[in-house]
Amino acid sequence: MENEVVAVLGPQSSGIAHVVSHVVNELHVPLLSFAATDPTLASLQYPYFVRVTQDDSFQMNAIADIISYYGWREVIAIYVDDDYGRGGITALGDALANRRADISYKAAFPPNADLSVINDLLVQVNLMESRVYVVHVNPDSGLNVFSIAKSLGMMGSGYVWIATDWLASVLDSSQPSNPGMMNLIQGAIVLRQHTADSDLKRSLVSRWNNLVRTGNATANLNSYGLYAYDSVWLAARAIDQFLNEGQVISFSSDPRIHDANGSNLHLSSLRYFDGVNLLPYPVPCEFILFGDGSKNPNYNELVQKVADNYFDAAVGDIAIVTNRTRIVDFTQPYTESGLIIVASVKERNSSAWAFMKPFTISMWCVTGIFFLFVGAVVWILEHRTNKEFRGSPKQQLVTIFWFSFSTMFFAHRENTVSTLGRFVLIIWLFVVLIINSSYTASLTSILTVQQLSSRIVGLDSLISSSDPIGYQVGSFAKNYLMEELNIAETVGQEFTKSGWGFAFPRDSPLAVDLSTAILTLSENGDLQRIHDKWLTSTGCSSQDAQVDSNRLSLESFWGLFLVCGVACLIALIIFFFRILCQYSKYSSHDEVERCESQGGSSRGLARLTSIKELLSFVDKKEEEIKNAIRRKSIDRQQQVENSSTGQSPSPA
């Protein structure tokens, strides 16, 4: 919109047309669409959307007439799952409903689907009762549907295939005599959009064929190409009619030169804000241009002419400086002025290791350690309950590393089944999300904005620099830089402030009265509104535009790592507490028997054996441990019952 666009042509898909239509409605710019056929794109919802072609409801009614003519009551719709496919199939369903037919099954596949997805879809629809298929897909994947259908034997007798105008566009665009393509679609019914024959059409087709023969065009012309040509003609015709009606097209990107009421601007006449009316008495005035228009006038010379009574007053961006106040009287400043440094910005060369710059070394190290630490914690929590975290030591080590670093891309294939494992993983995935987002934002800044740099960043660097300095001829900048700073000029912040005022001869009463008028304008806000409208700077770089390539350090993320680490420790404490409770139940009976059978000299060996048993216990599956505890409890009860039965007296 910065280039004063008057119309937008395209896009070639209905999905993008939906998005662009929202934008052009806000900007009040017409969108001429020659390929968006989704019936839901209506001018009632999008007033600035102009469809140059026909929407899909027309061809869907034609398909419904064919189906009704042959007496078919059910069809299967094969379509691409986007705005284009869904809108067309919805229109087909409405058209069939009016003819007492319906769509028995809607077989949708995602855009850019591979052959396996399409093959599975066709195998599924082949098992259904209906053998009438309506194919409404994109040209990119449409021929794959017919190719797979032919390999599955679905193109023979007993099947009916109806393709919308996408297939006609493919056939028209392809080079003639393509036997492979024609063999795929033998027996299919294809709809083609009708374009009336005319001299303009024959001329366009002839010129396009010449481009194809000379190699300047790679495809033949189809119906959508004709509609695109009409769209360009429509925009050109509108602009031509606009000019013929005497309207003016501006090629300036500044919207402020247009009148708010829509009237023509006569730039040859001078327009000014008549603040002289605020004076207590009438002051007739005549504006005389100063300078020849080819080079900047000398402001000191202008002020001198006022002092010499050659001019009654000087109006303009005249800076109020000391040497000028000695010879003329100035009004109250109507705006502040000053000197700023405008320096060129050079682009720095990118480094091969630029992807390492977003984080500091400590941040990289801590992040890598936490990836391994969280992976090890999840492995500990899942090892006893999840078969995906079991296996040989080598396999388990590979699992830890794979699971740790695959969480960086949320691509871990191992499922967590324990409550503690899921608790730790949820917190860690949140940390990874924050780290990934921060890394992406920082890297983008480094590779774009932060590649812009300048050696001159202020007054001191300008003084020490040997670069040539430019200044406006006739301004006081030259004297200030040479006499005050002992250089010849300066980025960013103003280093001196003065103001702009109107110059009058010494002791002129107009200077005091006009100063009062300027203060009145300042108090009621008119002066600020004029300043905001015409003097707002939008182009020059300043000190605020300097970039700072601050790298993300550990201090910015230590809170996240602290929360994640505490969560891991809490989960481990709960996990090992449960392990010890289970182990005490598991080994209580064996420990009693071992103490009764062994003497005091073998207690140390018993403790060593207990440690080995504990490690072996931790490595076992939790289900096996629970079953073993249950069996030992049953055996112990049986032993107690047997012992009590053996001590009872036998019957007489």
Helix residue spans in 509-647 (DSSP H): 509-524, 526-534, 558-597, 603-619, 622-647
CB burial of 150-177 (b: ≥16 within 10 Å; e: otherwise) equals beeebbeeeebbbbbbbbbbbbbbeeee
Judged against a pLDDT cut of 70, whether residue 150 lies above it is answered with yes
pLDDT score at 280: 74
Domain 275-339+496-524 has CATH 3.40.190.10: yes
What are the backbone dihedrals phi and psi of residue 460, each rounded to the nearest 5 degrees, phi first?
-65, -45
What CATH fold (topology level) applies to the domain 56-190? Rossmann fold (3.40.50)
Contact 507, 409 (CB under 8 A): no
The least confident of 213-222, 224-233, 304-313, 605-614 is 605-614
| Segment of 102-116, 469-483, 569-583, 596-610 carrying the highest mean pLDDT | 102-116
Neighbours of 425 (CB within 10 A): 21
Residue of 145, 155, 92 whose CA lies nearest to 122: 145
* 43-87 pLDDT tens trace: 778 888 888 888 999 999 999 999 999 999 999 999 999 999 999
Inter-helix orientation angle 14-27/83-97, to 10°: 100
Tokens matching residue 329: 């009287």
Q: How far apart are the first and last CA of the chain?
A: 113
Each residue's pLDDT tens digit, 225-268: 888 888 888 888 888 887 777 666 655 555 555 444 444 444 44
- Under 8 Å between Cβ of 554 and 360: yes
Would you list the domain boundaries of the chain? 56-190, 275-339+496-524
* Whole-number Å distance between alpha carbons of 143 and 170: 9
Q: How far is CA 531 from CA 254, 271, 320, 496, 536, in A?
A: 16, 16, 18, 20, 7
Residue 505: cis peptide before it, omega within 30 degrees of 0: no
> What integer pLDDT is reported at residue 94 of this predicted model?
94
Closest CA to 412 of 441, 444, 448, 386: 386
Distance set, CA 632 to CA 589, 591, 627 (Å):
8, 13, 9
Q: Which helix (H) or strand (E) holds 223?
A: helix 223-244
What are 136-149's pLDDT values in tens digits? 999 888 899 999 99
* pLDDT above 70 coverage of the chain, percent: 70
Q: What pLDDT, on the 0 to 100 scale, is given for residue 392?
A: 79
Q: How far apart are CA 91 and CA 39, in angstroms?
A: 7
Q: Confidence class of residue 609 from pLDDT cuts 50, 70 and 90?
A: low
Percent of the chain past pLDDT 90, that is, above it, reads 18
Q: Quick check: 639 pLDDT over 80?
A: no
DSSP, residue by residue, 68-135: HHTT--EEEEEEESSHHHHHHHHHHHHHHHTTT-EEEEEEEE-TT--HHHHHHHHHHHHTSS--EEEE
Q: What single DSSP character describes residue 346?
A: E
For 307-330, how does the pLDDT look when each residue is reduced to its tens digit (9 = 90+)? 998 898 888 888 877 778 888 888
Mean pLDDT of 291-298: 74
Nearest-angstrom CA–CA distance, 263 and 257: 11
565 pLDDT higher than 70: yes
- Distance (Å, whole) CA 598 – CA 611: 17
Nearest alpha carbon to residue 311 among 325, 339, 290 = 290
Q: Find the helix or strand (DSSP H, E) in which 441 lies.
A: helix 419-447
**Residues in CB range of 104: below 8 A, 6 or more apart:** 74, 75, 76, 128, 129, 130
Sorted by sequence, the CB contacts under 8 Å of residue 188 that are 6+ apart come out as 146, 155, 161, 162, 163, 167
What pLDDT does 261 receive?
Answer: 44
pLDDT confidence bin for 152, thresholds 50/70/90? very high
Write down the mean pLDDT value for the chain. 77
Largest CA distance in the chain: 152
Tokens (6 digits) for 400? 């830890």
Nearest-CA neighbor of 416 among 457, 394, 388? 388
Residue 544 confidence (pLDDT): 41
Note whether 64 and 96 are within 8 A (CB).
Answer: yes
**What residues contact residue 276 under an 8 Å CB cut-off, 6+ apart?**
283, 285, 517
Counting beta carbons within 10 angstroms of the beta carbon of residue 335, is it exposed (0 to 12), middle (13 to 18) or buried (19 or more)? middle
- Are 142 and 109 spatial neighbours (Cβ–Cβ below 8 Å)? no
